[in-house]
Homo-oligomer: A and B are copies of this chain.
Amino acid sequence: MLSVSGIRTAALALVDRDGLEGLSMRRLAQELDVQAASLYSHYRTKEDLLADIANETMAEVDVSGFDTGDWRRGLTVWARSYRAALAAHPNLVPVIAAGPGRREAALRRADAVHGGLVAAGWPARHATMIGASTKYLVVGAAMNSFARGFDADVQVYRDRYPNLSQAHRLSEHAAEIDNDSFELALSAFLDGLDQTFAGLNPR
């Protein structure tokens, strides 16, 4: 018999394997040896199903780093685990990024981040903005790896765009570049925040 969690698992597997376009209610049903209409006994709509698997994917995100009162550590742990969760299911990134953060768990995490920053000495408004900024970084980085921008045939721009002809852009190294870029962005961002923080809490 079908179960919500069984459908969820199969749907996530299908998205991971065949991409977002690869997930249709009929194909998912087929995977479960069932007719498409049966799925609607468990999910009201396809969007609901997508929101659910997006939700599950986000469960790995870790906001415990704020517990010690070290905001820099809290942000780092949060951002890295956030990015890791997205990278684990790249085909799902657009759904997660587009989905409204209305879900219970998402609100709880947002609250924890905000609270952690305020507890560490940031003004509330800054806490809001820092939370948003960090999310920008994570989501932007994940979208980029989803897009797989510069692909196979480097020949196209090898000669025409001299500045891009470095090995750096070769897609074999794309994952490494992505990771290093993210770490650079995160640490530069945090370094900049350090200065701001020092300016706000002099002495």
Measured CB to CB, the residues of A under 8 A from B are: 94, 97-102, 107-108, 110-112, 114-115, 118, 124-130, 132-133, 135-141, 143-144, 146-151, 156-157, 160-164, 166, 168-169, 177-178, 180-182, 184-185, 187-193, 195-196
Contacts and interface: CB of A to CB of B under 8 A. Distances in A.
Contact of A164 (B100, B114, B132, B162): B114
A174 B107 CA distance: 16
A111 B163 contact: yes
Interface centre among A94, A138, A148, A164 (most CB of B within 10 A): A164
Interface centre among A111, A125, A140, A164 (most CB of B within 10 A): A140
Contacts of A129: 177, 180-181, 184-185
Contacts of A150: 100-102
A107 B192 contact: no
Per CB-CB distance, the 7 closest pairs between chain A and chain B, nearest first, are A140-B140, A188-B192, A136-B140, A133-B185, A191-B192, A132-B181, A111-B161
A120 to B, nearest CB: 12
Given A141-B136, A188-B189, A189-B189, A107 B164 contact: yes
Q: Which secondary structure dominates chain A's binding surface?
A: helix
A151 B102 contact: yes
Contact of A195 (B94, B102, B191, B193): B191
Contacts of A98: 94, 143, 146-147
A166 B130 CA distance: 15
Contacts of A137: 133, 136-137, 140, 185
Contact of A192 (B101, B126, B146, B187): B187
A48 B56 CA distance: 34
Contacts of A193: 188
Contacts of A114: 163-164
Contact of A140 (B115, B127, B139, B146): B139
